[in-house]
Amino acid sequence: PETITVQDLAARMAVRGAEVVKVLMKNGILATINQMLDADTAELVVAEFGHKVKRVSEADVEEGLEGAEDAPESLVPRPPIVTVMGHVDHGKTSLLDALRATDVAAKEAGGITQHIGAYQVDIGSGRPVTFIDTPGHAAFTAMRARGASVTDIVILVVAADDGVMPQTIEAISHAKAAKVPIVVAINKIDKPDANPERVKQELLNHDVVLEDYGGDVLGVPVSATKRINLDKLIEAVQLQAELLDLKANPNREAHGTIIEAKLDRGRGVVATVLVQRGTLRVGDIVVAGSQWGRVRALLNDRGQSVEEAGPAMPVEILGLDGVPEPGDLLVAVESEKRAREITEYRQRKRRDQAQVVATGARGSLEEMFS
């Protein structure tokens, strides 16, 4: 239900909190200025002050943020976005590092690696793959909890000398719950005690059936540290991506998801964004969660300044007024006024929700004062 504190209501009518308290008292409601009022009570107060009542609902404020559906003919193929998951020590971080080093452009740039939370790899085929550079399940589930779905494909890393372990099983269930297809990287095949066949058989017990066993899950034996079959793994991801027929409209206002964000001493708020549709440009006014700002600069995964970022291209953005949360949606809007309206509404809602949680156990206003 819509709620507002006495104080906020007073602020929005430009009157003192005490005056609102007085009006409430006159109506038989005893309230402090931090008290939550439900929409009906608030409306009564506003009417008493002679103001016109306008309930601003989420739908009003956030209306149009989703934007129009993209017409089929506006859609063009986009790179797949991949998350690496698997049991601890099975080689997630090693694999992400090794995959990154396969990028042709990164090699040309002298292997300069900039950690921005996501990167793109092109092994020379002209078909890049985007990797989210934070392995593990926590990031994946945190994003999903915020309603974000950024991952198209999960690479499940299983060490060939260790086999299926508890976090392997957990990763499988996360991927299945999110309906994200799995590509299996059977890692550490360079080890003398590696047993890839055993891994494949163990995966059968968890309904991950590789092609060798008549299923449709692609599996590639690899070594992250010896850099064996990394190109084959990328090719398997591309094959899986083709089946998904991933497309987006680059010619519209940007919609994306915050991958990570921090406050940097010199640069201010720095957030990594994966654009999912549209194109993000320097100068755009964006809202991310309950923060907003004008994009001052965009930096690619090699730390180079770029003018724009299209679908599935990871970029760091500078210019937000506060630090958004991973999983927050980012949307480009038409004006600063609109950005302020949305963020103020969201901040208020977030604060109100926190207070409702804090006071919730005490029951409703009516119950308290009837």
Quick note: the x/- pattern for ligand GDP over 315-344, rule CB under 6 A, is ------------------------------
- Report, in Å, the least distance between residue 189 CB and ligand GDP: 7
Q: Which stretch binds ligand GDP (CB under 6 A): 72-80, 207-215, 220-228, 274-282?
A: 220-228
Touching ligand GDP, residues 68-87 (CB under 6 A)? 86
Single out the residue of 225, 347, 355, 359 in contact with ligand GDP (rule: CB under 6 A): 225
Helices and strands: H and E segment counts in the chain = 12, 19
Q: Which stretch binds ligand GDP (CB under 6 A): 90-98, 240-248, 266-274, 336-344?
A: 90-98
Residue 327 binding: pick among ligand GDP, Mg ion, none (C-beta 5-8 Å cut-off by kind): none
Single out the residue of 7, 93, 114, 167 in contact with Mg ion (rule: CB under 5 A): 93
Does 91 participate in binding ligand GDP (rule CB under 6 A)? yes
Other C-beta atoms lying within 10 Å of the C-beta of residue 343: 21
Single out the residue of 18, 88, 204, 356 in contact with ligand GDP (rule: CB under 6 A): 88
Residue 188 assigned to a binding site? yes
Q: What are the Cα distances from residue 159, in Å, to 30, 134, 199, 211?
A: 64, 19, 8, 19
Does 93 participate in binding ligand GDP (rule CB under 6 A)? yes
Does 190 participate in binding ligand GDP (rule CB under 6 A)? yes
Sign of CA dihedral 26, 363, 39, 348: positive
Pairing outcome for strands 305-306 and 291-299: antiparallel
Pairing outcome for strands 81-86 and 153-159: parallel
Residue 190 assigned to a binding site? yes
Q: What are the Cα distances from residue 76, in Å, to 246, 276, 329?
A: 8, 12, 22
Residue 205 assigned to a binding site? no
Rounded CA-CA distance 132/118 in Å is: 4
Q: Is 101 exposed, middle or buried (0-12, 13-18, 19+ CB in 10 A)?
A: middle
Q: Which stretch binds ligand GDP (CB under 6 A): 186-194, 208-216, 319-327, 332-340?
A: 186-194
Does 277 participate in binding ligand GDP (rule CB under 6 A)? no
- Report, in Å, the least distance between residue 307 CB and Mg ion: 34
Residue 37 token pair = 């009022």
Single out the residue of 89, 264, 307, 334 in contact with ligand GDP (rule: CB under 6 A): 89
Measure the N-to-C terminal CA separation of the chain; round to a whole number of Å: 20
Does 187 participate in binding ligand GDP (rule CB under 6 A)? yes
Nearest to ligand GDP of 226, 262 (CB atom): 226
- Report, in Å, the least distance between residue 190 CB and ligand GDP: 5
Rounded CA-CA distance 261/177 in Å is: 26
- Look at residues 65, 114, 111 and name the one whose alpha carbon lies nearest to residue 253: 65
- Report, in Å, the least distance between residue 82 CB and ligand GDP: 15
The H-or-E segment that residue 248 falls in is: strand 247-248
Residue 51 assigned to a binding site? no
Residue 191 assigned to a binding site? no
- Beta-ladder partners of 315: 273
Pairing outcome for strands 268-277 and 255-264: antiparallel
Does 100 participate in binding ligand GDP (rule CB under 6 A)? no
- Known binding residues are 86-93, 133-137, 187-190
Residues forming contacts to ligand GDP in the complex (CB under 6 A) are 86, 88-94, 135, 187-188, 190-191, 223-226
